[in-house]
Structure formats: C-alpha cells, structure tokens
Amino acid sequence: MGEWFVTLLLVALALLLVSAGIQDARTREIANWKNAAIALMAPLWWWANGLALWPDMALQLGIATLVFGFFLGAFALGQMGGGDVKMIGALALWLPMQPLVWMLVLMSLIGGGLTLVMVIEKKLRPARGGPVEIPYGVAIAIAALLVLREPIFNQFG
C-alpha cells in the first residue's frame, strides 16, 4: 500500500480522536461507532504497514486484549467509563508496545491534571451538585495524538 493510504488512516484516526475527545468533554460519553471505527481500521493499518500475520498481528491482538482486560477492571470498579475503556482497547490495536506504554503514561499524567483542574473548579463553584465526572476520553485522545505525531510528522523523511 502506498504512503498516501498510511497517511489517510492516520488522519482518519486523528479526526476520530478529536471528535471523541470533544464529545466526551461535552456529554461524558463516547459513541460506540467511533470506538468501533478505530478498532476496525487497525487491521488496515497493519496491512498498510506490512505486519505479518504471525507474530506481529497476533501480538497486537494479544496486547490489546490484555490492555482492554486491565481497564475493564477499572470500569468494573467504577473508575472509568465504558467508552474510555473501549477507546483504550481500540488504540492498543494500533500501537506497538513502546508507543502504547508511552500513550498510557501520558494519558495518566494528562488525566491526573484534568482531574485536579476539575476538582479545584468544583471547590470554587460548589453550586453544581453531584460527583465530579472526569471526561477521561479527553486525556486518552490527547495522549494518543501526541504519540501519533511521530509517524505523522516523520512521513516526509
């Protein structure tokens, strides 16, 4: 596949991430179709980048399954939303181990900062009732975009 196809996939992923982050910030939900699109584009990404069925694609599926299972535990404990967990799992299909770990570290740092800002805002404006709901999809999207910038900007040599 040509470089244009790889670039097209990256742009589509970036647009889905921005859209999901905005939606999560507004509604505290991420549409299932966005997470499904991210996951279903991953095999095209593998094919466009020449990944072998064994062990490369199998490794991506295995790692994504482990990551999804780990964050499913956070969902079961009420610490994350289902859309967030699905988006992390879908992104794990795209990223090799090192960029995935980097994305998870960035996601944690950005999510912690976002949580801190929202808790402070809640203390300053106590009129709003209910617990603070963190739009973690924003942190996931930003972290993924930061990790993806490498192949996007290095496409040209």
pTM: 0.92
For residue 110, name the pLDDT band (cuts at 50, 70, 90). very high
- Of 145, 141, 15, nearest to 87 (Cα)? 141
What is the pLDDT at residue 152?
58
Q: Dump pLDDT digits (tens) for 21-44.
A: 999 999 999 999 999 999 999 999
What is the pLDDT at residue 157?
44
Q: What percent of the chain has pLDDT over 70?
A: 94
With a CB cutoff of 8 Å and minimum separation 6, the contacts of 125 are: none
Q: Does 113 score more than 90 pLDDT?
A: yes
List strand residue ranges (DSSP E) for 96-137, in order: none
